[in-house]
Chains A and B, each alone.
Chain A
Amino acid sequence: MSRPVDRRRFAALLAGSAAAGAVAASRGEASIRVGEVVNSGELPAREASWYRKLEANRVECQLCPQSCKVADAERGTCGVRENRGGTYFTLVHSLACSVHADPIEKKPFFHVMPGELALSYAAAGCNVECKFCQNWEISQFRPEQVRSLYLPPEALVSMAKGAKARLTAATYSEPVVFWEYVRDAAEAARKAGLAATVVSNGFIQETPLKEVLPLLRAVKVDLKSFRDTFYRDQVRGRLEPVLKSLEVIRGAGVWLEIVVLVIPTLNDSETEIRDLARWVKTNLGREVPVHFTRFHPTYRLTDLPPTPVATLERAWSVARAEGLDFAYLGNVPGHPGESTRCPACDAILVKRLGFTVLDNRLVDGACPDCHRTIPGVWR
């Protein structure tokens, strides 16, 4: 997982940007300087964009399918949205608990500007609780429990430019819970000529998703299983809303990639992988990349071994046999399944080693050998 941002490094990245030293002007943030570390003190709060008021100062969150009904002074499941006297606030707008310039391959996006950097950021919190969460130290804590930086959208964009990143990526924790920040950062990125991307669990209501999609160039969704029981037992979520989100993203014309973390005994059966691949092909299209990545024991799931490579290879083979054009292996550096092959002539088009692009033979988004167009966001 990405460590919380280092102050010295942050200062170096921010140095020279127009945002450095600027004082936030918006209400509630007037005393906080850009780049300032915000601890457990008073958090800047902004009214949430997606909720409705109920009787007796209660509210119903309309951001994610948890649809939390929240009493006064309480928070939703995410832990980052709070009812204050009948008005619902997000406590994490512009509060980044992790910031790092990562290769886009780390997200992973394999069909989005190979080899480019994405200024990746996160705020604390998550709307589900995966027992296998790799980033639980930020996703499963409330904002006052982690160290965060005040980093409004314009400063984020300045930081990206300073790092020579052509993309931004809302990632690490769960962008759905800081969706207003994602929206505003994506808008700022677009104005600056950067491509905004999101790495999400897809557990979001349709309205907020549709409102932000036009600002995004690409979305990666973690499809954690193709079984609702898994979602309920291991994730504290549900499968159906995630499938709906995948269809909405695809329908909006935003580039989509899917990651499936394959966990021994829990979601690794051939039947489940086959069902998943068939659904993707039928409902999203064969050209949607699906990454099968390796599980490592962590958080509350420490009694299972890392996924055997053979299990991943079996999933990879099943997906390809079912007709998906772009199946990948993840978290197995050096495996041939990391590279992009032409679905027509099988030539290697983008050769990768871990997050590093060793060779990119694409020419204007097409195979140089057979001229087959390869779908993606290549520039």
Chain B
Amino acid sequence: MSVRLTRRELAALLGGAVVSGAGASPESAGFPIRRPGVVGVAKLAPDESGATSRERALPPMTSALLAATGATDVGSAVRGLFRPSDVVGIKLNCLGGRRLSPRPEVVEALVAVLEQGGVERRRIILFDRSSRELERAGFAVRRAGDGPLCFGTDNDYESRPTESGSIGSCFARLVTETCTALVGFGVVKDHDLAGVSASLKNWYGVIHNPNKYHDNQCDPYVADVVRHPIIADKLRLTVLDGVTAQCQGGPAYRPDGVFPLARLAVTTDPVAADLWAWRVIDAERVRRGMPTLEAAGRPPRFVATAARAGLGIGDPARLEEVDA
């Protein structure tokens, strides 16, 4: 059984752009803001001790968001992405532990920006597939209180699988029932099988059976997970914590694979986010005299598949990196 077409897929099939073209203003893009191919990138270097802070991350988070959305102020940007009634789920990727996961202080900066734009803290949920992994990455699990809440989906899945292309999975109920808007918040890292694990691959963490979908370089499975309406219809923003990135040996942390990218990337296009991550990972690999991911036999092929599914821009020539 196939899933029904999303509006974006329908638009793609009809031959038009998925939404408005690259560089479109938020006003012309409607709600939510979609700027295919545009990735706002800001510098975010840690201090001398290697640490960062919410205060340090707040300006680049703000400027990257503005660059990504084309908005002139935080309020417009956030209101262009989220409604006050939304419950915003921020999917973190904490597999890499404290040394290769979104930094809590950078995530806090995003929460602050959202709050500044009118999203109440209590309507924000930070989550990953397990509370244990969140804690290992330095997040405090909070299941109640003023927010943002923070917990793992753990074993709370839909009772029946649903189909999307080649996958058949039970999705986390937090995503299907609780959250009305989603943000992907990953890191920039190499993946042994998929090639890159940054944006799209992060969503493997909301299905019950990701281990079944790692053959053939995770293609077309990554795209099939994200194009499911449960995710595609709710995904508004993707953020990549690139303070530290990893160009080989992923997805686990590997000391000889990490490098100080010192960047923060924000985009409304989850496919472009992976294109950007692929680009910076390859740049570091070339700098080290290593083969590119393509030459190493594991280009992230799911990127092109996701683009064909109407999820965003997969053509490197159309990637528009906007320095913030």
Contact = CB atoms under 8 A, between A and B. Distances in A.
B211 A71 contact: no
Nearest to A82: B211
Contacts of B161: 136, 299-300
A76 interface: yes
B252 A73 contact: yes
Contacts of A136: 161
Interface in A265-318: 299-300, 303
Interface in A125-150: 129, 131, 136, 140-142, 144-146
B208 interface: yes
A40 B155 contact: yes
A18 to B, nearest CB: 33
Contacts of A141: 208-209
B208 A71 contact: no
Contacts of A41: 132
A74 B208 contact: no
A57 B157 CA distance: 32
Contacts of A3: none
Contact of A40 (B1, B96, B154, B249): B154
A72 B211 contact: no
B251 interface: yes
Nearest to A129: B212
A341 interface: no
A40 B252 contact: no
B209 A140 contact: yes
Interface residues of B, number: 25
A129 B168 CA distance: 10
Interface in A69-88: 69, 71-79
A74 B215 contact: no
A73 B93 CA distance: 13
Interface string A324-358: 00000000000000000000000000000000000
A292 B96 CA distance: 47
Contacts of B168: 131, 299-300
A25 interface: no
B238 to A, nearest CB: 23
B275 to A, nearest CB: 23
Contact of B192 (A74, A145, A146): A74
Given A300-B161, A303-B1, A73 B211 contact: no
Contacts of B211: 75-79, 142
A71 B130 contact: no
B249 A72 contact: yes
Interface in B193-213: 193, 208-209, 211-212
Contacts of A78: 211
B132 A73 contact: no
Of B96, B161, B192, which is in contact with the most chain A CB atoms at under 10 Å from its CB?
A: B192
Contacts of B250: 71
B212 A144 contact: no
Interface string B143-179: 0000000000011010001010000100000000000
A41 B249 CA distance: 27
Most A CB contacts (10 A, CB to CB) among B154, B161, B209, B254 go to: B209
A135 to B, nearest CB: 14
Contacts of B208: 140-142, 145
B168 to A, nearest CB: 4
A37 to B, nearest CB: 13
Q: What are the 6 tightest A-B residue pairs by CB atom distance, in nearest-first order?
A: A73-B252, A71-B192, A79-B211, A72-B252, A300-B168, A145-B155
Given A56-B254, A73-B251, A142-B211, 6 more contacts: A71-B191, A71-B193, A74-B252, A76-B211, A77-B215, A145-B208
Interface of A: 40-41, 56-58, 68-69, 71-79, 129, 131, 136, 140-142, 144-146, 236, 299-300, 303
